Every structure is written in C-alpha cells, then in structure tokens.
Structure 1
Amino acid sequence: MEKEEGQEAHPHVVICTIPAQGHVKPMLKLAELLSHSSFRVTFINTEYVNATFLSSFDIQSFSRRFPKFRFVSIPDGLPPDSPRSGKGIIDVLFSLRDTAKAALLEVLVSLRQPPTCIIADGIMSCAAIDAGEEFGVPVLAFRTYSACCTWTYFHLSMLLQEGEVPLQDKDMDQLVTCISGLENVLRRRDLPSICRIERADDPLYTFFATQALAMRRASALILNTFEELEAAILFKLGSIFSKIYTIGPLHALSNVRIKDDNSSTLASAKSIQT
C-alpha cells in the first residue's frame, strides 16, 4: 500500500461504530479527541447513517479543524427501502453481523496507511475482531456506557441459566444475585431492556450474548466512565481484560481538550434516529 509522506509519525486508528445515535455520538467524541491529539482517524459508518450524517453539518469546516480525520462508509446489507429506525435497527444489526467483516476487510485493504489499531463498538465485536485478526491489527472494544452495564452484558448467558430471564411474571423488585459484585444492588427491573424477552431463545438476546462473548478476545476495553465512579466493577472486568481504559465522561473531556465550537458535529449526530 502506498504511504503518504510523514505518515509514520502519526498513528492511524480505524473506528467502527454501530448505526445508533447513542453509539455514534460517543464514538465521534472519542474520534475527535484522538484526531485532536494528532492521530489519523478513519471513522466507519454505514452508508445510510453516513449520508444522513454528512448532510447535516459543514464538512469543510470540520476538515479544517480535524485535517487527519476521514469518514468512510460500508453497506449495511439491507435494501434501500428497508426501515432503519425504531425496530428496524434490529434488522440492521442482524445484517451487519453477517456482512460487516467482509466490508471492514475491504476498507482496511483500501487504506493508504495501514491502521495501528481498530477501535470497535462492543456490539460489533464478532465482525471487527475477526477482521482485525485476519488483517493483523489489534482491536480495542469500546462500550459506550458504564462498567456496571458492560459487566452485566457478560452475564447474559448466566441470567438465562439461573432463570432470571425471561422476566415475565416475575417480581421485578427482586434482587439479581447471580452477577458477582452486584448481588445487593441490581434488581430485575434494572437489567438491560433486552432482558424483557418472551422466550429464552430470543434472537436479539442471543445476538447480544454472542457479541459479549466475542468481545473477550479484544486486546483492551475502553469505557465511557471513570475509576472513582466504578472502581469495584472495573476490578471485576479486570478478570477478563488485562488492559482497561476509563476515559469518561467523554463530553467533559472534549470540552476541556477541544476548545473550538463543535456544535455542528453534535447536531449532525443528533439527526441519526433509531
């Protein structure tokens, strides 16, 4: 692959997000912070989200502020007229599960500068980690929410085994005791919304459990939290990951590190409906 002059001086990070507002926004914040710190950034969205995104803000102004930042899109594998908001996001996730690895590899091969690493949303773990391993670059998993929620996702299979889910006809104020570290904290009603399933073999529940299992293969875990807030659960996650980076809250870090007004990019991210 041809390299541009001086590329070696700047690490190149490929960022893979999923097409949901609550994931694109923190991923974009992280990408901006890395770009502001002189990293080269390739930000991968689906074609549908990328078109919506880029039509919503001044790309020329953004490029002047972040000259080493590049937006790239991949197909989500669905027909153009398929709904992608509301419950349609489920079809998008299932389609990306089957198509994203090949699309990501195609992007990686096309890059002028090989990536130093990939930072992938944890919900894209299967495709991103498989692609990274095949391409020979490390993959870091980024969960855009708390350590507590991330730890709970690692116990989705156990919740099934212990009969905590499905939640139908159960006392929702009953404590969930099968998740180490949360025995006296977590009630059934506090479990993620995907636990409100009707049957144990729910495909979406299985999807998230599978992605969490694959995420264990990541080289490191990045979380949008901070040590003082969730030290006990971060210690638990240390049994899975040898490297954990707590970088939150990202919006506050961005306000401190990036002085320029970036309301245009935030407005663009807000335009993504799921």
Structure 2
Amino acid sequence: MLKSKGPKAFDGITDFTFVTIPDGLTPIDGDGDVTQDVRALCQSILNNFHHFFDELLAKLHDSATSGLIPPLTCLVSDSFMPFTVDSAEEHALPIVLFSPCSSCFFLSNYHVPKLFQNGVLPLKDESYLVNGYWDTKVDWIPGLKNFRVKDLPTSIKTRNPNDLLIKFTAEMTGRYHRASAIIFNTSDELERDIMNALNSIFPSLYTIGPVASILNQSPQNHLISLESNLWKELS
C-alpha cells in the first residue's frame, strides 16, 4: 500500500492500526516491485505467510494479555489468503472471508476441481486457443447463465493441470467451507442468480458492494487515499 500510494497513505487514519508481515519474496534491485510477480507472490503465500501471520497473532495476543490492546475476537481476511483460515482455527477465532472480486469469479473458481473432472480443463493443446473451443458452453454450474470457456478466469485456463495457479486456487477454495461467513464485493441486484447458487453451498453469505460506491458515500474523506488498487500507479 505504501509503495502504491506513497508514505502519506495512512495520514489522518487514527482509528486504524496498520502492521505488516514479511512477504517472503526476494528483493530486486532498482524500483522493481517484486510483489507484482503474481506467481511468485502466490507461491510465497502458500509457503511463507502462515508462519509470519501466526507470529503476528501471537504478538497481538501477548499485547492483549498485557492490557495494551483489546483481545482478538475475530479475523476478517481477504479470500485470496488461505493461510488465515488455518491460523483462525489454531487460535480458536471465528474468521470471515472477504471476496474482493465478483461472485461470478468466486463461483467459477470454486468449481475448478469439477472443471478438470468434467474435461473442460486443462486445454489439450495450443489449437484450443483458436479452434472455437473458447465458445464451448459450461452450462452445468448453477447460477452461471450463458457461460462459456472463454468466461472462466484467465488464471485457470491452462494446459498444465499442475500449474501453480491451479494449485493456489485449490488451496484457496478448499478452505471456503471452514469460514464462519463470507462477504462479497457485489450486490444481490447485480448477481442475484449467482448469490442464490452460492447460498445453497455456503450458509452465511453477505453482500456489501460494490465497495467503491460505499467509499464514495462515506463522510470520512480521509479514506479516499485507501483505494482498492494496490499496484503502483503511473503518474
């Protein structure tokens, strides 16, 4: 966030405390931002983040025991951070997952195992990119209407069943059922059919989005510095 918004990104936000954990990535020379290497970041999330996050929770617990901060009562985590579900269970905390993407993206990722079981993925060879396969209908996922292979998330349209992003998606979606609740960055009016389908799978779902519209309605003007894009912006 500091890299994308600058050192004054947190100015004026006195009611929220920001702390960091190591990302486990190897620094690179110059102005390059290693966190924008999505594959390297996903690998580090799987390999390193759980340990560092547990260390942070232990420190917060010690501070709470000493009366320096209120006790930990709940975790709210980005749904792309699967390790947080493990940590919540280890610390006996309820966890709420927040899906920053659409519920359509969430539902299609959730069905990745069946996409492989049903032979939709992986792509057989490069010819499948140009032979019309992209327009093949995927009509067996409840809630997704007029859905085609081309509409699947780019990260899972691969010829390699052992691709890192496939593994990451499986690790991520495999923990959804263990969350106490899931919050979506959408509204029922925008994705009603998909939310109805998801409600039949997960018992506690909430829509609060689109988040950008909520931010625009907030009287707290200092929050405008905290936009959803964490990639470095070009001036």
What TM-score, normalized to structure 2? 0.83
Distance 1:244 1:228 in 2: 15
- Structure-2 residue corresponding to 1:80: 27
Distance 1:234 1:245 in 2: 9
Find the residue that maps to 1:266 and give its secondary structure.
coil
Find the residue that maps to 1:245 and give its secondary structure.
strand
Find the residue that maps to 2:215 and give its secondary structure.
helix
The structure-2 alpha-carbon separation of the partners of 1:90 and 1:76, relative to structure 1 and needing over 3 Å to count, comes to same
Are the equivalent residues in 1 in contact too, given 2:143–2:196 (CA < 8 A)? no
1:183-198 equivalences in 2 (<5 Å): 184-198=145-159
Among all aligned residue pairs of Structure 1 and Structure 2, give the percentage whose two residues are the same amino acid: 30
- Structure-1 residue corresponding to 2:38: 89
Give 1:115's match in structure 2, choosing from 68, 72, 75.
Answer: 72
Distance 2:219 2:171 in 1: 36
The structure-2 alpha-carbon separation of the partners of 1:175 and 1:267, relative to structure 1 and needing over 3 Å to count, comes to closer
Greater mean deviation of Cα atoms: 72-81 or 50-59: 50-59
Count of equivalent residues: 217
1:144-155 equivalences in 2 (<5 Å): 144-155=100-111
Are the equivalent residues in 2 in contact too, given 1:108–1:114 (CA < 8 A)? no
Are the equivalent residues in 2 in contact too, given 1:223–1:248 (CA < 8 A)? yes
By how many angstroms is 1:113 displaced?
2.4
By how many angstroms is 1:257 displaced?
2.5
Question: Which of the two has greater helix per residue?
Answer: 1
The structure-2 alpha-carbon separation of the partners of 1:257 and 1:54, relative to structure 1 and needing over 3 Å to count, comes to closer
Distance 1:106 1:123 in 2: 20
Distance 1:249 1:240 in 2: 22
By how many angstroms is 1:191 displaced?
0.6
Are the equivalent residues in 2 in contact too, given 1:226–1:248 (CA < 8 A)? yes
Amino acid at match of 1:178: W
1:175 partnered with 2:131: no
Gaps of 5+ in 1: 1-49
The structure-2 alpha-carbon separation of the partners of 1:58 and 1:96, relative to structure 1 and needing over 3 Å to count, comes to closer
Are the equivalent residues in 1 in contact too, given 2:100–2:185 (CA < 8 A)? yes
1:10-67 superposed Cα distances (whole Å, 9 cap, x missing partner): xxxxxxxxxxxxxxxxxxxxxxxxxxxxxxxxxxxxxxxx5525734253x323xxx2
- Structure-1 residue corresponding to 2:17: 70
Find the residue that maps to 2:34 and give its secondary structure.
coil
By how many angstroms is 1:197 displaced?
1.0
1:100-136 superposed Cα distances (whole Å, 9 cap, x missing partner): 12211211222232222111111112x1011011111
1:138 partnered with 2:94: yes
Question: Which of the two has greater strand per residue?
Answer: 1
Distance 1:164 1:267 in 2: 32
- Structure-2 residue corresponding to 1:36: none
The structure-2 alpha-carbon separation of the partners of 1:200 and 1:178, relative to structure 1 and needing over 3 Å to count, comes to farther
Gaps of 5+ in 2: 61-68
Find the residue that maps to 2:190 and give its secondary structure.
helix
Find the residue that maps to 2:138 and give its secondary structure.
coil
Amino acid at match of 2:6: S
Are the equivalent residues in 1 in contact too, given 2:142–2:194 (CA < 8 A)? no
